[in-house]
Structure 1
Amino acid sequence: MDEDYLAYVNGRLPALRRLAYLLSGNRDQADDLVQETITKLYARWPKVSRAENVDAYVHTMIVRTFLDERRRGWWRVGLFASAPERVESSGAPGVEQRTVLRAALAKVPARQQAVLVLRFLCDRSVTDVAQILGCSEGTVKSQTSHGLAALRRILGDNGPALQETR
């Protein structure tokens, strides 16, 4: 059992970290999301390993962990009096635009944020997102529409062009 679990986690860790980072926008929080998910996964591995699509199951676990984290985020305690200084970007093309978009995305409600990340950054279909979130395809479509509208409101004229695809 442990060998199969370790092989799975070691093989999928980069993809899991990428998904968690896309959801959270923060490397440290992404690592926390992955750590919490793989800890839960270990406890459930005998059942999960028999699932038809283990990757989809684990992606669902990460998204739900992210959503749970956003719901209970009020109790967090900051360990520092102020935020650490940010390293200036290299000025590479698109870095500023990605930073603005990431900040705006963080202001969108968690479920809409998860839908937008899964649909547009992870290139998942409406059906896949509905399965991961445990909702209908119509809900995914409406959450996509509402999330894009929220991003447009937040970004105003300063943001990149956002287009909805169905």
Structure 2
Amino acid sequence: MTRTSEAHEAEFRSFAVSRWPRMLRTAYLLTGHHHDAEDLVQVALAKSYAQWHRVAQANDPDAYAWRIMINAHRDRVRGLRVFEWLTTRFPERSDRDRTEQVLARDVLAHALRRLPARQRAAVVLRYVEDRTETEVATLLGVRLGTVRSRAARGLEKLRADPAVRVLRPEGSRR
């Protein structure tokens, strides 16, 4: 291995290690299944590694890698001809989470899995990942208006969900 390839290897390893947790959370919310999420992130990182010279030189390497992950998810969903069975378990960030927070996340995960896949992707990327509408449109390969309508419809369904309504403080719009 040459010195340049060792540097690229180290650079990619650092990139992958630092992005893994966030990518896994996003992938979990997109797929609804922990094992599928791990597979999706591994595919995205493998493709990123294969094209690392392009990813590293991109204006936003994170967006490049996330786009690869979104495309891989889209390809995976297109290939599915069976109903998705989403998991009921939400991956924990740490052991210090309070019971109320765990229960609230579980309720939200259940509500998210009841959304259609495209609405779920828009809501997850926009509000869980805290991405701009423009970033979400780019990642999903759709127009800005499509992101807005999918996210709005998804939020409307979440707000109408009786289990989610219990979580919201009185008078809260969020």
TM-score by length of 2: 0.72
1:51 aligned to 46, 51, 58, which one? Answer: 58
Aligned to 1:74, the other structure's residue is in SS state coil
Alignment correspondent of 2:124: 117
User: How many residues are aligned here?
Assistant: 152
1:31 equivalent to 2:38? Answer yes
Counterparts of 1:159 and 1:135, CA distance in 2: 28
Task: Return 5+ residue gaps in structure 1 as ranges.
Answer: 79-83
Q: Indicate whether 1:100 and 2:110 are aligned.
A: no
Moved over 6 A (4+): none
Following superposition, the deviation at residue 163 of structure 1 comes to 4.6
8 Å CA contact retained: 2:111, 2:164: no
**Residue in 1 aligned with 2:138?**
131
Give the one of 146, 154, 159 matched to 2:164. Answer: 159
Residues 1:163 and 1:62: Cα distance change in structure 2 (over 3 Å): farther
- Give 1:91 shift: 8.0
CA distance in 1, matches of 2:112, 2:15: 30
Paired amino acid for 1:158: A
* CA distances 1:67-102 after superposition (whole Å, capped 9, x unpaired): 3323323369x9xxxxx9x8xxx9811433322321
Instruction: Name the aligned partner's letter for residue 121 of structure 2.
Output: A
Percentage identity across paired residues of the two chains: 36
**Given that residues 67 and 111 in structure 1 are in contact (C-alpha distance below 8 angstroms), is that contact kept between their aligned partners in structure 2?**
no
* RMSD (Å) for aligned C-alpha atoms: 2.8
Deviation of residue 48 (structure 1)? 1.8
Pairwise CA distance, 1:38: 0.9
Matched, 1:63 2:58: no
- Rounded Cα–Cα distance in structure 1 between residues aligned with 2:104 and 2:14: 37
Q: Which residue, out of 136, 149, 155, partners 1:142?
A: 149
Matched with 2:94 is: none
The gaps in structure 2 that reach 5 residues or longer are 1-7, 90-96
The answer to which of 49-58 and 26-35 deviates more is: 26-35
Question: Is 1:5–1:42's contact at 8 Å kept on the other side of the alignment?
Answer: yes
Following superposition, the deviation at residue 119 of structure 1 comes to 1.2
Give the equivalent residue in structure 2 for 1:73: 80
CA distance in structure 1 between the partners assigned to 2:82 and 2:46 by the alignment? 22
Asked if 1:7 is matched to 2:14, the reply is: yes
